Chains A and B, each alone.
Chain A
Amino acid sequence: MSIDPATDASTDRITDRVTGRVTGTRLATHDLSLGYDDRTVVDHVTTRVPDGAVTVVVGANACGKSTLLRGLARLLRPGTGQVLLDGKSIHGIPTKEVARTLGLLPQNPVAPKGVTVVDLVGRGRAPHQGRFQRWGAADEAAVARALEVTGTLDLADRVVDELSGGQRQRVWIAMALAQETDLLLLDEPTTYLDVAHQVEVLDLLHDLNATRGTTVVMVLHELNLAARYADHLVAMADGRIVAEGPPREVITQERVSEVFGMQCLVVEDPVSGTPLVVPIGRHHSRRPTLVANGATA
């Protein structure tokens, strides 16, 4: 059932949307274990993030998906193995240099009080500024582009805490964009957003990937949105990757019940044609046999 990610050919089938050629991988893990204190949360994971694609990590609560993302962003020291960025151990690269290649938007970031949108987004330029090389025209242009792309230019003067949740999340994404990295990692960028804003944020990330070729890696809770927006889907359970590849291959009824411990139907999403997971609870079923026998779509 589980596929060894190292030998899984599916990662190589991803083609770059911009260049149209099959791409390699700049960010990978090898035998990576991560944990807090003595508790292992990510257990010997080897995987490759396909370049120029949107990779989405899904799994039940506490499966280690956020921890894996934090590990990819060098926020955690590996217990075993390593994270490789351009073939080198990420912990061996100066953190500022990493920050010019790889951007991170953590879960629920908190803006300091009183900080305006333009100030916050401007802080995304920090990795490009040296001790003696201060704010310049290139920084201004990058901030303006980031605000433009995220549709937050007209909020430039506003104080971040006073924005709505959807606006605030777009501003944080703008900050990560101002960093102008080729890779962007996001930990549940849609938490606390209503469904309209979730779609808005995901569309924005899709555009970014499509127009700039930015490699996006994100953790998402919502399985159906994950299936719709991912080029490459990674399913985790108990700190391991149980399957990865195109959503159509990864999302099957058996695997969803394995990963989430829930029976479901997998049908075709009438909008996008991607797999759509319809949960089967203990109630509400029009066809009681489904509940008894498991899904038979």
Chain B
Amino acid sequence: MSAATDSRVGTPGMPAGVDMVRAARSRVSRRHRLLVGALVVALLGVFLVRVLLGDFTVTIPDFVRILAGEQIPGATFVVMESKLPRAVLGVLVGAAFGLGGSVFQTTLRNALASPDIIGVGMGASAAAVFAIVVLGLQGVAVSGFAIAGAVAVAVLVRTLAGAAGGYRVVVVGVGASAFLVAVVQYLFTRASIYDAQAALVWLTGSLNSASWPAIARTAGCLLVLLPVVALLAGSLRLTELGDDTAAGLGSSPRRTDALLLVAVLLVSVGVAAAGPVAFAAFLAGPIARALNGGRTSLVASALVGSILVVGADHLGAYLVPDVNLPVGVVTGALGAPFLLWLVATGRTSRRSS
């Protein structure tokens, strides 16, 4: 804000240049607005398919009457106690995973540095299983352990990886993840049948336990976390340029760490509600980026996450007759080939040629 800077702002402008800059910027933001609009419509579509179709078809007029509080025998129960909560929780959890994953991938500049690959999701699972099997806890206390576990693993991985950034985080995180799988497997050998049942939910993401209280808890957490993400998200535009450039532009590393912490919390809130839905966090960001012409978009990532989780839950429920696959099995089946493709084509780290 020195006098010299101000005087430069006041020099006679170059109208042609300013117009070109304005036009070029507005083309980018128009494309983004269109994409977000299209994704909202797509999410609405997937949501309605999940709620209305399936073994038990509900018409839209009936659905409106059910929402208005009318009791339609059979239909009201199925919609209000099973289909609608599943879909709503799917939207919330998917958005949390999509956002959290995208923040990680963008900040660490590596598509593989997603929380579900670097052990953050597994940290939540292991802590939850520990709480159930060893401490005999239930309910919200287990969720608290899951969140603490995710944060602990994230801090540990970040510390062990050092300042070098994305690639080391992936390597250390994959190691941490493998170790945590071993911990969980050991805990299972010690578990009673009853505890093992309860703990199993924490291993495969599933919306089976969707309930209105769980939705209220998740929505409450998101209401706190989303404004924080919005406040910090501006610094992502700088951190994705690399540490040195970002620092040169006045971005504080503390903001980056704060953003990563919020992303860990988002993912652990998702895990606490639906278990570690495999690869949901990993897939959403890159898909959203591809749709947005290669540019990062957190809003699009959240929407893609929701579409993925709700859509995969529907597929899991009806793809194989008489078998109700948990959503995590479907996303896992989708994510694994994508992971292989990323590694095979060398698109993991965002380096330009």
Q: Which residues of chain A have a CB within 8 Å of any CB of chain B?
A: 70, 73-75, 95-106, 109-120, 122-124, 126-127, 131, 137-138, 140-145, 147-148, 153, 156-157, 159-161, 168, 176, 179-182, 185, 212
Contacts and interface: CB of A to CB of B under 8 A. Distances in A.
B192 interface: no
Interface string B219-263: 000000000000100100110111111011111100000000000
Interface size on B, as a range, is 35 or more
Contact of A156 (B24, B247, B249, B296): B24
Given A114-B294, A115-B295, 6 more contacts: A100-B2, A110-B109, A112-B240, A112-B296, A137-B18, A141-B14
A180 B5 contact: yes
B13 A95 contact: no
Given A142-B9, A144-B18, A148-B17, A96 B350 contact: no
Given A159-B294, A179-B249, A112 B241 contact: yes
Contacts of B289: 113-114
A114 B27 contact: no
A137 B248 CA distance: 23
B107 to A, nearest CB: 11
B2 A156 contact: no
B4 interface: yes
Nearest to B5: A180
Contacts of B231: 131
Given A122-B25, A143-B21, A182-B2, A113 B350 contact: yes
Interface of B: 1-2, 4-5, 8-9, 11, 13-14, 17-18, 20-22, 24-25, 27-28, 106, 109, 231, 234, 237-238, 240-245, 247-252, 289, 292-296, 350-353
A114 B294 CA distance: 4
B25 A148 contact: no
A156 B245 contact: no
A66 to B, nearest CB: 11
Tell which of B11, B13, B17, B350 has the most Cβ of chain A within 10 Å: B17
Nearest to B11: A145
A260 to B, nearest CB: 26
A97 B248 CA distance: 11
B25 A118 contact: yes
13 contacts: A96-B252, A99-B249, A99-B250, A104-B244, A104-B248, A112-B109, A112-B296, A126-B238, A141-B14, A145-B14, A148-B14, A156-B20, A157-B27
B253 to A, nearest CB: 9
The 5 nearest A-B residue pairs measured at CB: A114-B294, A99-B250, A104-B248, A144-B17, A96-B250
B228 to A, nearest CB: 13
B247 A95 contact: yes
B352 A127 contact: no
Given A106-B248, A110-B352, A161-B353, A144 B242 contact: no
Contacts of A105: 245, 248
Contacts of A181: 5
A81 to B, nearest CB: 20
B17 A153 contact: yes
Given A70-B244, A73-B248, A160-B352, A118 B5 contact: no
Given A99-B248, A112-B350, A140 B4 contact: no
A287 to B, nearest CB: 45
A114 B249 contact: no
A179 B59 CA distance: 57
Contacts of B353: 161
A55 to B, nearest CB: 17
Tell which of B14, B106, B251, B352 has the most Cβ of chain A within 10 Å: B352
B229 to A, nearest CB: 14
A126 B244 CA distance: 15
B244 A113 contact: no
B21 A156 contact: yes
Nearest to B351: A110
Contacts of A100: 1-2, 5, 250
A147 B249 contact: no
Contacts of B9: 138, 141-142, 180
A52 B214 CA distance: 63
A95 B21 contact: no
Contacts of A98: 250
B351 to A, nearest CB: 6
Contacts of A104: 244-245, 247-248
Given A100-B250, A140-B18, A145-B14, A116 B241 contact: no
Nearest to A158: B24
